[in-house]
Structure 1
Amino acid sequence: MFLNFTNHPSAQWAAPQQQAAGAYGPIRDLPFPAVPPAAGSAALDHMADRWAARIAGMHPDCVLCQGEMTLTYRIVQRLLAQGIPVVAACSERHSREWTNAQGKVCRVTAFEFVQFRPYAEPAPGLAIAPKPEYTQSK
């Protein structure tokens, strides 16, 4: 099963992306959660633990994990540590920009799926240490 853990329902994907995901088996959608902007590292770690456990319990063959960056990073690391393949969708961006009659800039952007790119473990010898948590002074 290919688990789509994003906020982009697979029913809205173009045929090439559905076919690429379908190579792993049936596609199942699981919406990526909202992340409170004020959440600190401990809250994010707790969310990542819960979501990674839930995903692992679904026994996916592959997970498309894309959402809020810092939670995505934490979840990807936990899934990879369990041997679960995780990918990101790679697309070609096509934009058209113009100024309308009222002088406002308008833009239309379309994304054309190209491939799923696997997340990888850090390179051997590359140490990734967490930074201390900073709080904003008032």
Structure 2
Amino acid sequence: MFINHTNHPSQYWSDAQIAAGRQYGVIMDMPFPQIDPMVSSAEISQLAQEYAARIIALHPTTVLCQGEFIYCHALVERLLAVGITVVAATSERVVEESYGDGVNEKIVNFQFVQFREYCR
């Protein structure tokens, strides 16, 4: 099982990202928690422990974890410690800019490239 633990449901992924995820197993979405920017590091640690327990109970082979940095670090450490592979999605940032009539417009697209494993 490949758990997608992000704010980006797999139903909106590109075909390439879905194919890459399926190489790890059946894709299951586990929505990323809303994290109040005012909470303490101790509260983040507790939240990471709760989600780690939920994830470990599902026995995934791999977890995609991306979002709030401190939470991700805490969760990734816990998952790696029990032998679960954790990955991040890498992408190419494609920017289109146009200028005219006093309006500057920038459109940014992120195109999936690969999943990269976190190091132990």
Normalised to the residue count of structure 2, the TM-score between the two structures is 0.95
1:8-47 equivalences in 2 (<5 Å)? 8-47=8-47
- Whole-angstrom CA distance in 2 between matches of 1:40 and 1:99: 43
Q: Classify the secondary structure of the residue corresponding to 1:86.
A: strand
2:6 matches 1:2: no
Segments of structure 1 that go 5 or more residues without pairing to the other structure are: 122-138
> RMSD over aligned Cα, in angstroms?
1.1
Aligned residues: 120
1:1-138 equivalences in 2 (<5 Å)? 1-101=1-101, 103-121=102-120
* 4+ long deviations beyond 6 Å: none
Larger radius of gyration: 1
- Whole-angstrom CA distance in 2 between matches of 1:10 and 1:100: 37
Cα distance change of structure 1 residues 98 and 76 upon mapping to structure 2, 3 Å threshold: same
Q: Give the number of the structure whose residues are more often helix, by fraction.
A: 2
Normalised to the residue count of structure 1, the TM-score between the two structures is 0.83
- Whole-angstrom CA distance in 2 between matches of 1:100 and 1:71: 42
- Whole-angstrom CA distance in 1 between matches of 2:75 and 2:14: 26
Give a deviation string over 1:88-137, Cα, whole Å, max 9, x none: 00011101122353x2432111111111000012xxxxxxxxxxxxxxxx
Q: Give the number of the structure whose residues are more often strand, by fraction.
A: 2
- Whole-angstrom CA distance in 1 between matches of 2:2 and 2:90: 16
Per the TM alignment, residue 20 of structure 1 is displaced from its structure 2 partner at its CA by 0.6
